[in-house]
Amino acid sequence: MEKRRLGRTDLLVSRICLGTMTWGQQNTEAEGHAQMDMAFEHGVNFLDTAELYSIPPRAETQGSTERIVGSWMKARRNRGDVILATKVVGRTAMDWFRGDRPSRLVRADILDAIDKSLARLETDHVDLYQIHFPERQVPWGSNPTRVGKWPAGRDEDETPIAETLSVFDELVKAGKIRHLGVSNESSWGVMRFLFEAEQGRGPRVASIQNAYNLLNRTFEVNLAEVADREDVSLLAYSPLAQGYLTGKYNHGARPAGARTTLFNRGQRYETPHAAEAILAYCDLAQSFGLEPALFAAAFVLSQPVVTSSIIGATSMPQLETALAAAEVQWTREMQEAVDGLHQRFGNPCP
């Protein structure tokens, strides 16, 4: 599988990254191990996890995904072959991460988070340590389609980005992390991190992990130029829009065992006009002779703004389809057809 440079680092990551957030809740440890085995057999060398996982976040299952990744690397004795990414939570009222208090991006909380992640992952360092979501008040994903969605206020105790960045500087110097990434971030946020790094306050941001799919191309509006000119790699999550772009939820269907059926967490992809857009993209995929899941995954992989697409699966057939997207020949006709629907529907699910 093709490898691409992550930002300005020396890391070469596979164009497909294996996401892990269902392991420890929807998937067992054995199933997680089987998925990693298959992905690495196909040339994947990049794993993405988080202290938050598994999803949905619960105190009882928090950290389970990192433990599964750690046990796999230990059993396979392959830590040196894995580019390992995990994340620290931003500001959250959930109090089980730090044990007795809500979490923020302050020194004590970040140091606590990395030490716990390293213990669960059974390793002495993380290749890419990402801020899962900002501490400051921003809409989820940080890229709304209307200015009116931005909050009017700010938290009085908001931690300055410079202060947060200085903690990551400590972690790099201690050898606990190699590189820094952000996630669910805006163009202002990325540029502020880059500015502070240029002032010598910490490591340079190497990557940004944001949602990017047929229903949400907001990354292209401002962040694409930032990523291109500043060499910040997009790690695109949710290429199938939480499974909605497979068509399995069309016309209100709720298949047994599917994430939205189990957890009722699909509101991001149930916005006005989303259902109409999903049907149109599914029909378009079939007009090219491809199943919708394969088509949607191939779209993300084909876009020049994407360094690596983070795939996720709860079954081996789903994983096989996601991996097969790397073999799809994305044509000019496909791109023009997709762009035509995007002109019609825009980004209904930012």
Query: What type of residue sits at position 155?
Result: D
Question: From CA 100, how far away is CA 108, in angstroms rounded?
Answer: 13
Estimate to the nearest angstrom the gap between the alpha carbon of 60 and the chain centroid.
22
| DSSP codes, 68-116 | HHHHHHHHHT-GGG-EEEEEE--SBS--SSSSSS-B-SSHHHHHHHHHH
320-337 core/surface letters (b: 16 or more CB in 10 A; e: else): ebbbebbebebeeebeeb
Question: From CA 23, how far away is CA 249, in angstroms rounded?
Answer: 22
Q: Which residues contact 146 (CB under 8 A, 6 or more apart)?
A: none
- Residues marked active site are found at 53
Question: From CA 40, how far away is CA 1, in angstroms rounded?
Answer: 10
**What are the residues facing 83 on neighbouring strands?**
46
- Extract the tokens encoding 73: 């690397």
- Extract the tokens encoding 132: 């899962």
